[in-house]
A and B are shown apart, each in its own frame.
Chain A
């Protein structure tokens, strides 16, 4: 009889999984933290964990294609003389020229305009391509103030004061040397080719009391015409939104941890901030407690992918949603047709996130002139418009099924949750029960 060890299946650690091991080796070899683009990739409770109940005996539905279901939204009704009127409650989030090519920015403007919505600048100033092709353009006011000037401020349709973003609440922008081309360097007043690390705090105000004064200045400079948004990352949404209202915002943007970034540390993206789903109800609660729900509009972003996600965010109390990553995918980012080129970059379509390296084969997250030429802004803009229109149809389909003639009539009572976590975060009952965890109504 043999006493050889009986064969067992090799078992890998759940704690030290392949990704973790590879990251330890990478860190040991390079001596630098991993930087990448995009938002949190870990699985977190999300809109997929919610379901709409639909109409039945207790509510009756509207006819698809026949009965009207409005999607229009007006943003900035609190103080601005010229609020933004959009045909759809889905906007394009801020993404910089610098992180994106000029063609990509133009395509975003074209797509948004065709679909009747707004697009947003980013941490790099306003380009003529973008302004020219964007009927409604939101100008971001960021800690770095790259490219900031009063002429562009006055050309904007709204101003978004960026306090934080979901991918990195508490972090500043990052654009590595590979993407600091002559044009980007000039717009940002930086030496060409350096690693640019934007500030994480604004240079001339600290805290909500100062911000109120800063907003007064922006309103005075623009003669009180422009809606002023305040964008916060999903950190402490109840207090952040309440303070944004106190500081004088017309619109508050809350960006959860699935919201993307052009580049930052992986550890930041995955370990700081809260899931989008967890941010909405506290944000809405803050507005309600102040009597400002629907008076100060709420835009939710971070992982919005389709009309169902938009419908769920609206049902939980948002006035609009914003998309970034999904918009890039609509333009052509991570397209499987480019698989051979992704393979050369040691990645695969769907996983490519080294946007900071500027070698994007889709020509979107690059400043390389040859790569950038690959993106036809007219065609890509059309793709984005198609996608936005599909999202809107999906949103309307759900709203009609729930019996609403305006998407803003969607409400938490239209929803149930598939998991206890999602039920607690969204404050809707667990499916098949009347239980909302954390609400004390067991």
Chain B
């Protein structure tokens, strides 16, 4: 395992070292010590490696990740795993706002709570939050899945497109054009697979409700103007 101590090594050196790794590298295990809330830790990684971060990170940790597994043993600041393409990002603590924003693929697992705008503008990523999520989550969510084992705040799924949302607890309110939808067998199946992928074994898919787009705002219609 290669260990990088951010008290002794600069962020630039860390990210530069990670960017030099290619598919097939034998340096597959990395550990980052003393992140102390630094921003942009392990961003733009493009190799099938594991990066274990011992401590809390600031903004945009694991941003645009491809292929890597990045585990934060602490909490994460805003924009964790933003625009992730593939791979897996795990936050053992809580995640601040915009977690998984615009993500295109891979799995983001937040073991604590996520703040507002979790999954904003998501484009294919799967996000599983074991705790609660804040307001305006899945705003303009285009594709992918957001699974919440706890509660969701105000205006869930506002202006949502085709992303699928599963919430086990209470939803304070739904945003414009977001509605509760029937849990059909294929949704139980998809949710079950997501929970399994996230290592969540102690809940049943029947405990969740599904939310998605009513598709009423997909084209302009003056009679829908009061929905905005």
Contacts and interface: CB of A to CB of B under 8 A. Distances in A.
Interface in A35-58: none
Interface string A1-35: 00000000000000000000000000000111000
Nearest to B97: A204
A194 B216 CA distance: 11
Q: How would you classify the secondary structure of chain A's contact residues: helix, strand, loop or mixed?
A: loop
Interface string A232-265: 0000000000000000000000000000000000
Interface stretch (B55-63, B145-153, B182-190): B55-63
A211 to B, nearest CB: 11
B82 interface: yes
Interface stretch (A218-226, A363-371, A382-390): A218-226
B49 interface: no
B98 interface: yes
A204 B79 contact: yes
B161 A191 contact: yes
B121 A221 contact: no
Given A220-B44, A221-B63, A213 B83 contact: no
A149 B39 contact: no
Contacts of B40: 213, 216-217, 220-221
Contacts of B85: 149-150
B66 A32 contact: no
B50 interface: no
Given A149-B104, A203-B102, A144 B121 contact: yes
B72 interface: no
Contacts of A217: 39-40, 43, 59-60, 63, 79, 82
Contact of A204 (B44, B101, B162, B218): B101
Given A189-B142, A203-B98, A222 B44 contact: yes
Interface stretch (B12-20, B25-33, B166-174): B12-20
A60 interface: no
Given A194-B219, A217-B60, A221-B63, A145 B123 contact: yes
A221 B44 contact: yes
A340 interface: no
B117 interface: yes
Given A213-B58, A213-B60, A205 B140 contact: no
B19 A223 contact: yes
A194 B161 CA distance: 10
Contacts of B143: 189
Interface in A183-207: 189-191, 194-195, 199, 203-205
Chain B CB count within 10 A is highest, among A199, A203, A224, for A203
A150 B39 contact: no
Contact of A189 (B12, B78, B124): B124
From A31, A190, A204, residue with most partner B Cβ within 10 Å: A204
B120 interface: yes
A436 B169 CA distance: 66
B200 to A, nearest CB: 26
Nearest to B83: A148
A217 B102 CA distance: 15
A194 B12 CA distance: 42
A27 B119 CA distance: 37
A28 B78 CA distance: 45
Interface in B33-51: 39-40, 43-44, 46
Contacts of A150: 44, 46, 64, 66, 83, 85
A248 to B, nearest CB: 12
A140 to B, nearest CB: 14
Given A204-B101, A217-B40, A199 B64 contact: no
Contacts of A224: 12
B219 to A, nearest CB: 5
Interface string B94-117: 000010011010000000000001
B178 to A, nearest CB: 16
A214 interface: yes
A213 B44 contact: no
A177 interface: yes
Interface string A143-157: 011001110010000
Given A145-B83, A150-B46, A203 B219 contact: no
A149 B64 contact: yes
B104 A205 contact: no
Interface of A: 30-32, 144-145, 148-150, 153, 176-177, 189-191, 194-195, 199, 203-205, 210, 213-214, 216-217, 220-224
Q: Which 8 residue pairs spanning A and B have beta carbons closest together?
A: A221-B44, A31-B222, A204-B79, A204-B98, A204-B101, A194-B218, A145-B102, A150-B64
Interface of B: 11-12, 15-16, 19, 39-40, 43-44, 46, 58-60, 63-64, 66, 78-79, 82-83, 85, 98, 101-102, 104, 117, 120-121, 123-124, 139-140, 142-143, 161-162, 218-220, 222-223
23 contacts: A30-B222, A32-B222, A145-B121, A150-B46, A189-B123, A189-B142, A194-B219, A195-B220, A203-B102, A203-B121, A203-B139, A203-B140, A204-B60, A204-B79, A204-B82, A204-B98, A204-B101, A213-B40, A217-B39, A220-B15, A220-B40, A221-B44, A222-B44
Given A189-B143, A194-B161, 8 more contacts: A31-B223, A195-B220, A203-B121, A216-B39, A216-B40, A217-B40, A220-B12, A221-B40
